Structure 1
Amino acid sequence: MTTNQRPRGGTGLVLVLGLAAMVVSMMQTLVVPILGIIQNDLGTTTSGVSWVTTATLLSAAVFTPLLGRFGDMHGKKPTLIGVLVVMVAGSVLAATTSSLVLLIVGRVLQGAATAIFPLALSVLREEIPPQKLHGAMALVSGTLAFGSGLALVGAGLLTQGSHPDYHRVFWLAVILAVLALVAVIVVVPASRTKTGGRTDWFGAATLAAFLVLLLLPISQGHEWGWSSGRTIGLFVAAVLMAGVWVLVERKVAAPMVDMRMFAHRPVLFTNLAGLLLGFAMFSQFIGVSYLVQMPDELTGYGFSASVLRASVEYLLPTTLVSLVAAPLGGLLVGRIGARFTLAAGAAFGVLGFAWLTGAHDSTSSVILAGMLIGAAISFGYAAMPALIVASVPHHQTGIANGINSISRSVGSAIASAVITSLLASKVLSGLPKGVPPLPAESQFTLSFALAGIAFVLVVGVALVGLSSDRVRSRVTSSAPAESAESAESAESALERA
């Protein structure tokens, strides 16, 4: 039996790729509950410890599109294995060091793991029959939200007690990364197709520079000051570098990112939806986590919850609903189309944040609103890969989904910066001496309202922005495309309904 004649993958492959994707999302939120512990243990400043999260974000921005394209060219399985080996190394380094510099290096290595998600979707497109593809992608995508919540719970559990040790959290990352590595080696088949060709290193370098220049001031602006020369200068440099990147990609013979694909309407608006969805999701994680930990005897609001209680009682239901809703999202993609699934999910998000905005004074309201938001996130994650896969040639699947992953990361970074700045901009007066500044309740209300507006915009993107391209109800055939397949062939696939 030849490579192209072998049986297509099944449930085992989907579960393994789902595990790998879950580990990816855990790397993003794993350190959120333990930043204070790391700061105290390493004797660093708030600005210093913030690089533990910023380093991962910047690493993901640099490596995700590059490795997504590398997998398309040279094979998904070896690229997946290589990325997982790097993540294991980074996790071991983070788990064994007590140096801030080495911890940041470990987080940089962990950030490369973000490339696993677009690579996993590329494998699914090759190995899963077309009639089952949308459901498989929805299940793998659903593990992203579940992994983010699971990381918060795991970090809370592992740092309980009078002597919390952040190293335990990174050992958890080591164990899960090794499990994912072994599973990928055993279960994931070799790629059916490889486009080959030369890597566009100049295009990769200019894209990486643009993303770093953009994300660095977004993630550090609240520390540096939004009007500081450093922040404004980096934003200006990012705009200039974006122009350089576009110029490079239009001139080279084999660009890393085909500008026609990048500007293709379904891809462009799906990436916009990804940015908005990333903003809303992270707003819920950060906003609810901070809200429920507020000492109600001092502030008049909040629930005086511990980090563990905040994760288990208030955030875990959101992640569980996300996991349960994932297969339903895949079913809806097949029945009503990816565009309407995205719109339906965003409508749930609007309702959830409207509830949080107007009534966050009871445990039941916070939990039930979060569950609506969890369903919204899952439906969005189910729809976006389907929109991308239906819009690009086979050999561009990895890079296209990589860019979409980066759009969600940018949205999350913006949410972190905006929510942090909002909470710090208006604090309560008359607090007892020695109590750190605590945000006014109105700042949480405004944060939830902004996230709700983001979901309103997603509804508009789905129903208006994507309407003229008649995005297919079902994902297009996943038969391998020739490397010479053009962007026009992807457009013609969209037109066949």
Structure 2
Amino acid sequence: MEASKPGAAPTGHPGRIVAVLAFGGIVASVMQTLVVPLLGELPRILGTSRSNATWVVTVTLLAGAVATPIMGRLGDLYGKRRMLLVSTVPLIAGSVVAALASGLTTMVVGRGLQGLGVGLVPLGISLLRDLVPPEKLGTSIALMSASLGIGGALGLPFASAIADYGSWRVLFWVSAGLSVAIAALLKFAVPDTERRAPVTGGFDYVGAVALGAGLVALLLAVSKGADWGWGSGTTLGLFAVAVVVLLGWGLWELRVPEPMVDLRTTARPRVLLTNAASVVVGFAMYASSLIVPQLLQLPKETGYGLGQSMMAMGLWMMPGGLMMMAVAPLGGKLSGKHGPKVTLLLGSVVIAIGYGISGFLMSSAWQLTLVMCVITAGVGFAYGAMPALIMSGVPQSETAAANSFNTLMRSIGTSASAAVIGVVLSQMTVSGGGFTLPSEDAFRTGMLIGCGVAVIGALITLAIPYRAAEVGAAGGEAGVSAEAAAARPGAARS
């Protein structure tokens, strides 16, 4: 099925539609950091080991990575608004299951269901192209895309407050209530204007299963390699399975008439390089989220820790999320004037500057908050520009699948960041008072890695082909380029 045609008159109030979709994206992305403040207590709560308790976080990332491209393709086939509503079902169910959990297995099932809801973000971005007037599309896409980072940043203080002053079960009941609210808002505040035609090829089930299996093997090896050992048979075996399965998936996708992901489209230089930049920006974004909270909470006796409580840490982190929310619309306007390539380049440079100034701004909480605000400002610019670049390089009928694949690339970047920064913090340690903690050099090294990765993102962005003549369209239909127009069905006959 195909989405509404470009230029179709949107119905409903654009501001309300954007607000609802952005709120949905924020709620979905909050699920990824929802239990981070509880990690120290989870072994006791669930009666399990610390290593097993990390599955409560890992399973959400894995489920989200698998569901994102699948929901994107289903959105292109059966309607983006319909699949948005479907995505709220596992969010609600997972929150209820987790709230009622009495052990590790039940909690992991609930958290896995919550992870399936992350498809709200790329689906919402694609739906904006159908519902929002061209003159408001750039800023709307930027805000919706940045909701991935905003939700992650705001999730920490939200979860910390509830964990500090209430039962951990309240955390999941609140998330269930928010998920129900999102479903109701999507149902009654977002109009269904998509024009559908009969499906010609149907859904690629083989491709979906193969992609899911390959991603699970890859991300599981990346996220758990530090625990299992990077040279262990399990880790190496999973990497081998990932390579074989994903290569086989790629060959399959090139042969089927209606692929899960059109690899020929993703191989176009603009799309390919934007996805590559998404991986490294996702890495850079997540590295600070791993480093700064630990620095804030480590005891002052270490000489570099700031001794903040869990609640205080969340509050010091909150301005970063608010900065991302404030910057995203500005990035949309910048893309409309100068093109999304410029905005992505600016975002990567600002992220690098944020990490760079951390070299002499790590001695107080307000200094780390300033560092986070600079980094998240860069993320807001970068995340808002990526969908515009992607949608300017793909046909209208593939926007949901293409945006979902781009979101997946960001997820791979964050998973790689968790693995690399985790190794740095676990290998560069100091001991004292019977405890082993990451050293100050470990945190500085992690910040330096984040800076270097952001610079790589800027260099990749410079190589993205984007003509000046397309800038005027960037704020409208996300800069629909000649290569995207040529890829549309029937273009050759027109």
TM-score range (shorter-chain normalised) is over 0.9
Task: Give a deviation string over 1:297-337, Cα, whole Å, max 9, x none.
Answer: 1x111101111111102x11111111111111111111111
Matches within 5 A, 1:423-462: 423-429=425-431, 431-433=432-434, 436-462=435-461
Match of 2:464 in 1: 466
d(CA) in 2 for partners of 1:212, 1:321: 33
Match of 2:163 in 1: 159
Matched to 1:122, the amino acid is S
d(CA) in 2 for partners of 1:201, 1:73: 13
TM-score using structure 2 length: 0.93
SS in 2 for 1:438: strand
Match of 2:303 in 1: 300
d(CA) in 2 for partners of 1:490, 1:448: 41
Matches within 5 A, 1:34-183: 34-161=38-165, 165-183=167-185
Contact 1:76 1:191 in 2 (8 A): no
Q: 1:326 to 1:488 in 2, by over 3 A?
A: closer
Contact 2:10 2:132 in 1 (8 A): no
Matched to 1:449, the amino acid is L
Contact 2:72 2:400 in 1 (8 A): yes
Q: 1:414 to 1:35 in 2, by over 3 A?
A: same
Structure 2 stretches lacking a partner, 5+ long: 490-494
Shift of 1:287: 0.4
Match of 1:255 in 2: 259
d(CA) in 2 for partners of 1:441, 1:5: 56
Q: 1:395 to 1:448 in 2, by over 3 A?
A: same
Larger CA deviation: 13-22 vs 147-156: 147-156
Shift of 1:359: 3.0
Matches within 5 A, 1:367-386: 367-386=369-388
Q: 1:345 to 1:251 in 2, by over 3 A?
A: same
d(CA) in 1 for partners of 2:90, 2:293: 30
SS in 2 for 1:428: strand
* Identical aligned residues as a percent: 36
d(CA) in 2 for partners of 1:201, 1:350: 41
d(CA) in 2 for partners of 1:283, 1:150: 16
d(CA) in 2 for partners of 1:330, 1:470: 17
| 1:32 is aligned to 2:36 | yes
d(CA) in 1 for partners of 2:284, 2:123: 25
Shift of 1:191: 4.2
Task: Give a deviation string over 1:117-154, Cα, whole Å, max 9, x none.
Answer: 11101110111122221111112223322211221001
Q: 1:360 to 1:281 in 2, by over 3 A?
A: same
Task: Give a deviation string over 1:95-127, Cα, whole Å, max 9, x none.
Answer: 111221011111111111111111101110111
Matched to 2:433, the amino acid is P
Contact 1:394 1:478 in 2 (8 A): no
Contact 1:355 1:365 in 2 (8 A): no
**Candidates 298, 317, 320, aligned match of 2:319:** 317
Matched to 1:335, the amino acid is K
| 1:489 is aligned to 2:486 | yes
Task: Give a deviation string over 1:423-460, Cα, whole Å, max 9, x none.
Answer: 1112213x123xx3111110000001111111101111
TM-score using structure 1 length: 0.92
Matched to 2:366, the amino acid is S
Paired positions, count: 479
| 1:20 is aligned to 2:24 | yes
d(CA) in 2 for partners of 1:50, 1:5: 48
Structure 1 stretches lacking a partner, 5+ long: 493-497
d(CA) in 2 for partners of 1:491, 1:290: 49
Contact 1:130 1:475 in 2 (8 A): no
d(CA) in 2 for partners of 1:271, 1:81: 27
Match of 1:227 in 2: 231
Shift of 1:365: 2.1
Q: 1:206 to 1:191 in 2, by over 3 A?
A: farther
Matched to 2:102, the amino acid is S
d(CA) in 2 for partners of 1:401, 1:205: 19
Q: 1:138 to 1:286 in 2, by over 3 A?
A: same
Matched to 1:61, the amino acid is A
Match of 1:403 in 2: 405
Matches within 5 A, 1:240-251: 240-251=244-255
Matched to 1:165, the amino acid is S
Task: Give a deviation string over 1:327-377, Cα, whole Å, max 9, x none.
Answer: 111111111110011111111111110111343112332111111111101
Contact 1:38 1:166 in 2 (8 A): no
Larger CA deviation: 218-227 vs 234-243: 234-243
Match of 2:192 in 1: 190
Matches within 5 A, 1:408-427: 408-427=410-429
SS in 1 for 2:222: helix
